[in-house]
């Protein structure tokens, strides 16, 4: 079985993904709305990595949620069926109730396909109102941000080179 999405690296956090035919329009270009799915999926995998468990269970246990407050894209290259690309995650900013994840998607040739900024807001489970960021989340984001800066001097590098990847799904490993 070939996976269409998997965690390639946890430090920096990188997810490798393959474009499925059903994610594309009749011309073979990924639907614009599909990019939101890519980003939200990577964010959920990132939360799971931060907490060492399934993201919704961890957030339930701590009594908070992280719905999207803002989502921004800068599209650079088209993605086509069967294209494989890596999405790397940086913690760009941490505020009182929100934080911003910067995600850079790189194609196999290293070219940037898109850059996304996802800004979740912390809410109390069961209520639809924002809350101050829970300490457990703030600490996890701070630690990840610090490890990235320490490991890569100025910021977390994303994509194939940072994860040490030399092959893509479906290719034999050297």
Residues 6 or more apart in contact with residue 170 via CB below 8 angstroms: 2, 18, 84
Per-residue pLDDT at 159: 42
What is the per-residue pLDDT across 69-119, written as a single tens digit (0 to 9) for each?
Answer: 999 999 999 999 999 999 999 999 999 999 999 999 999 999 999 999 999
Per-residue pLDDT at 92: 97
pTM: 0.86
φ, ψ (nearest 5 deg) of residue 129: -140, 145
Residue 165: CB atoms within 10 Å: 16
Per-residue pLDDT at 156: 46
CA 150 to chain CA centroid, nearest Å:
20
Task: Identify the segments of the chain with pLDDT beneath 70.
Answer: 1, 151-174
DSSP secondary structure string, 15-46?
Answer: EEEE--GGGB-TTSPBPHHHHHHHHHHHHHHH
Residue whose token pair is 């790189």: 106
State whether CATH 3.20.20.70 applies to domain 5-156.
Answer: no
Q: How far apart are CA 112 and CA 1, in angstroms?
A: 28
Show me where the domains of the chain are located: 5-156
Contact between residue 170 and residue 83 where contact means Cβ atoms under 8 Å apart: no
């Amino acid at each position: 079985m070939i996976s269409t999405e998997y965690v390639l690296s946890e430090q920096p956090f990188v997810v490798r993904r393959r474009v499925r035919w059903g994610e594309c329009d009749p011309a073979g270009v990924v639907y614009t709305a599909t990019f939101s799915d890519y980003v939200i999926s990577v964010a959920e995998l990132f939360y799971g990595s931060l907490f060492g468990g399934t993201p919704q269970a961890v957030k339930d246990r701590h009594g908070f949620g992280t719905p999207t407050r803002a989502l921004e894209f800068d599209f650079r290259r088209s993605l086509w069926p069967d294209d494989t690309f890596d999405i790397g995650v940086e913690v760009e900013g941490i505020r009182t109730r929100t934080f911003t994840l910067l995600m850079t998607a790189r194609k196999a040739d290293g070219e940037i396909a898109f850059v996304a900024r996802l800004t979740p807001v912390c809410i109390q489970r069961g209520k639809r109102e924002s809350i101050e960021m829970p300490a457990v989340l703030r600490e996890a984001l701070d630690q990840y941000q610090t490890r990235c800066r320490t490991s890569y001097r100025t910021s977390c590098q994303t994509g194939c080179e940072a994860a040490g990847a030399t092959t893509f799904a479906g290719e034999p490993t050297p």
